[in-house]
Structure 1
Amino acid sequence: MNTLTSRQVKQLKAEAHHLNPIFQVGKNGVNDNFVEQINDVLEKRELIKISVLQNCLEDKENIAAQISEATNSHVVTIIGKTIVLYKMSEENKKIDLG
């Protein structure tokens, strides 16, 4: 998996700005079912936000790395308690990072 250029990250941050978090990570952390759901949504949307709740015991950077690795996606940015993930879709390509 190749890394995103700073220009691509900037573009993805701009596109993610108006999105609302779709998933929330709570005290149960990240499990296989959660990862599977995220993977499905990433395939449909390419760019998603995940919010880390206050009762989550794990560090948001660790959670972002865990999910990113499990879904083979990129962590675009972590703002406050919100993680922005990007994964190029196989069938629903919407975002052109030309």
Structure 2
Amino acid sequence: MMADRYRGTIYTGVTADIGRRVEQHRSDGGSRFVKRYGLDRLVYTEWHDEIELAIAQEKAIKKWRRQWKIDLIEQANPNWEDLSHLINA
């Protein structure tokens, strides 16, 4: 999940290469939504062994209420810190 700031706009997506996808979003090569709202902070990730499971989870989360998404993020990342440095380690 990408965001612009603490409790700001949230984008949920799925990818097989999260590091590359975050860089695409930051260089305006990602989705139009991310570009439009300036979402440059990776605030939540989930890892799945099978892409079908990841896609199903993404679709489910996209249907959630905003507060549920905030709760999910804050369980793992209470300060909405940018986690991208962890994926490139």
Name whichever structure is richer in strand by fraction.
1
**Structure 1 length as normaliser, TM-score?**
0.26
Q: Which has the higher helix share?
A: 2
TM-score norm. by structure 2 comes to: 0.28
